[in-house]
Chains A and B, each alone.
Chain A
Amino acid sequence: MSLTLLNVLAAVIIAIAFVAANAAYLVWAERKGAGFIQRRPGPTENGPWGLLQPPVDGIKLMTKQLLIPGGVDKIIFVIAPVLAMFPSIVSFVTIPFSDTIVAHNINIGLLMIFVFGSMSAMALLMGGWSSRNKYSMISSVRAVSQAVAYEIPMLITAITVVMIAGSLDLMEIVHKQSGGFWHWNIWPFQKGLFNILMPASFLIFFICSLAETNRAPFDLGEAESELVAGYHTEYSSMGFGLFFMGEYANIVIGACLTTILFLGGWDCPFGLLPGVWWFIVKIYILIFTFIWIRWTFPRTTIYSLLNLSWKVLIPISLFNLLLTAGLLKVF
């Protein structure tokens, strides 16, 4: 009994450590990637290739004065950054990295991840509202409409995958895609069905992950040039640090989820070296694409953003859902 408890505890701690290390070193990867795209070296001062930059930044953030501006709603102001970071850490507990490496597999794992994902929208709202700053208010209004609008196609495409796999359990979903990469959910042929819209579903899910994590080109919530820093303008020191790390943790979750649902999880394309390494490779390729897209495209306006979701993504994903349901029923 206590051994299982210790196991679970160890697994949770390892999951948290993975999230924290990722969040920290993804910042480094982003800055290096940005530098590479922009013809400059990126951080090089601290440590070889700037690898010590994240710990140094972390120490800097922790030693700064934690300012709480007068007149803010203190409780909400303090809870908001915690709420930004907390759901991502908890979601990590159910993500399977391979057949044997998972902190605690739940048979409704997918549902749990989406539940916690929606909580991060609350964090944006709380951060913006309690800051008592007009810029923050505008930005959190934008961020919440964006989060709500893009959750819907994400859920619909996830349901499509769930229908094909027949279970909400993440390990089940991956097992159904094993045995060679033509079984991955991204391709149009599942179980002898020919569903041409599956790559479209993959793209829709990818775009929605970009939008849910407030990454460019959908980063209106923190549109630097217009709203200074959006909903986290008034945060300093660790409050800002938590928002910041929460964003990167969300990126990792988004990448993990895309991999599990569409790219076969830890299934390797050629049958060699199975396991956690392929999973890591796939999520890092997706994360690199996130970074690449951020530094290439300008930002959309709020109206074209919402139009894209409500008028383009939702109809396509609904159509795909009906098509998949029809095909599954008929064949």
Chain B
Amino acid sequence: MSEPIVLQPDETFILNVGPQHPATHGVLRVKMTMDGEFIYNAETVIGYIHRMHEKMAENRTYAQYMPNLSRLDYLSAMAYCHGYVLAVEKAASIEVPERAEYIRAITVEMNRISSHLVWFGAFVMDLGGFSPLMYAFDDREQILDLLEAVTGSRLTYCYFRFGGLYNDVDDDFIEGTRRFIKRMRKSLKMYHKLVTTNVILMKRLIGIGPVSVDLCQRYGATGPVARGSGINYDVRRNEPYSVYPEFDFDIPVYNEGDSFARYKVRMEEMEQSLRIIEQGLDKLPDGPVNPEKKPKTIKLPAGDYYTAVEAGRGSFGIRIVSDGDKSPYRLKLRSPTYSNMHLFDEACRGMLIADALAFMGSLDLVIPEMDR
């Protein structure tokens, strides 16, 4: 499309995309004012799956609140639990044994791969290619089986405890994970051959949905959305936590800022996660996975605390305001999808509806995480 299209604001109609729609990845409604196929204005309406997790936190103890975190972003639940336990451990000064830290990092990265596989399948399906979804889910089944054997859940993990883990990993898990790493590397090569180098896909994604650095800064976008626009920000590197400084991995950053850049960022993140898992398995120390002494009821000293971790979609932050009681006084969950989705309204003006949906898919939205 060479010359700019002039939109006629007085000949528009309103099209509701959602809340029930195959492409919106959850209950999301976008009220688009359309001029033919072009979007003149878009207004996102959220809150269809708002469950008020922050109020629930005030009525539960710290340990009772753990399962809630997996239900926020069910696709990368492990990272959310990680953020929460890190926040509480930092504030309450609970020591974590090294073996537990390594296993936490390994399982979080496996969860990240599984979350990116769901994104990959659903995104390409939105664009019309139905088969990669099946292949991605086939690979994801291996991860889910491995994690189920250790944690007991397939999707909404509640594996971490304050100071350690619920369960130690056994040799089956380690062997299975090594086999999975080999299999996943072959699959990634196949995905690159089948999908990334596909002419139709490249035409659909290159140049679509440009996100500038200024837009990211004003909206607070993090994660692959920011890394696809040239911003080198990953909480694992910029603000290292847990045992990530021990691992040697790269953060993929692409400068173009379009949907194809975000796609490439996530595909490479999967490869880097495989590297982290491999190194984690090699360096896994022996030892206990729980500290010898743990306080029976967790009570954080009064004050407020902030912790950020890198979840599948960006920087997930938890702010705990405590007054010394066994429940938080206020718990704020900073969800990455919330900030990433917000820039859709401004960025999609003047786009075709098909391009806007490709853009939405490339932002990797998980609506329950946005609405909390």
Contact = CB atoms under 8 A, between A and B. Distances in A.
Contacts of A34: 130-131
B200 A226 contact: no
B125 A39 contact: no
A140 to B, nearest CB: 13
Given A134-B13, A228-B21, A300 B203 contact: yes
B134 A301 contact: no
Given A297-B198, A297-B200, A298-B201, A216 B131 contact: no
B295 interface: no
Given A138-B37, A301-B355, A303-B1, A39 B134 contact: yes
Contacts of A226: 23, 126, 353-354, 357
B138 interface: yes
Contacts of B22: 224-225, 228
B118 to A, nearest CB: 15
Interface in B81-117: none
A326 to B, nearest CB: 33
A223 B37 contact: no
Contact of B135 (A39, A220, A228, A297): A39
Interface string A247-271: 0000000000000000000000000
Interface in A202-218: 216-217
A63 B331 CA distance: 54
Interface residues of A, number: 28
Contacts, number: 77
B127 interface: yes
Contact of B352 (A38, A40, A228, A302): A302
B199 to A, nearest CB: 9
Contacts of A138: 15, 37, 353
Contacts of B125: 225
Contacts of A297: 128-129, 198, 200
A225 B126 contact: yes
A298 B23 contact: no
B171 to A, nearest CB: 29
A151 interface: no
Interface of B: 1, 13, 15, 21-23, 37, 124-131, 133-135, 138, 194, 198, 200-201, 203-204, 352-355, 357
8 contacts: A34-B130, A37-B131, A39-B135, A40-B134, A225-B125, A295-B130, A302-B37, A303-B1
